[in-house]
Amino acid sequence: MPNIAADIMTKTIVQVLPGDSVAKIAATLVAHNISAAPVVDASGTLLGMVSEGDLMRHLGAKHAQRRSWWLELLAEGEDLAPNFLDYLKQENHIAADVMTHGAVSVLEDTPIPEVADILAERRIKRVPVLRDGKVVGIVSRADIIRTLAAKAGG
């Protein structure tokens, strides 16, 4: 009977690097049919999470309007450097720019009820599972529900 995060976590982890472009992240999420991935450094240490929502947040019209207002205020009637304006375009952003920093994580031996509480209280859909600071799995809401269903059926 599963009791801890390690028992129910998805062990095949799709992760991205902080320098990966938004386009590459989007392609990775689509290719693996997932909605988020941990952002890790070269040694596998968790830096944050990047989700479809993080990618979409910068594409919306509201964001463009805020950016336009902010740029006008910043420029004070002067022309802004073309390099700066190019950087602000979505396609020039990388994981480090759009990820959620300080991602909530759990350890392999975290009890499943505690993982469920974290997901519910933080209103998040998944949590990376760490061993020695490295991502070794992910527990999602679906993993918790599958565990509940298995208990009901058995």
Cut 0.85: pTM above it: no
**Band (75; pLDDT cuts 50, 70, 90):** low
Confidence of residue 70 (pLDDT cuts 50, 70, 90): very low
Closest CA relative to residue 34, chosen from 105, 138, 114:
138
Which 8-state DSSP code applies to residue 82? Answer: H
Q: Work out the pLDDT band at 63, boundaries 50, 70, 90.
A: very low
Q: What is the pLDDT of residues 81-96, one digit of tens each?
A: 554 444 444 556 899 9
CATH topology classification for 5-58+93-153: CBS-domain (3.10.580)
27-39 pLDDT tens trace:
999 999 999 999 9
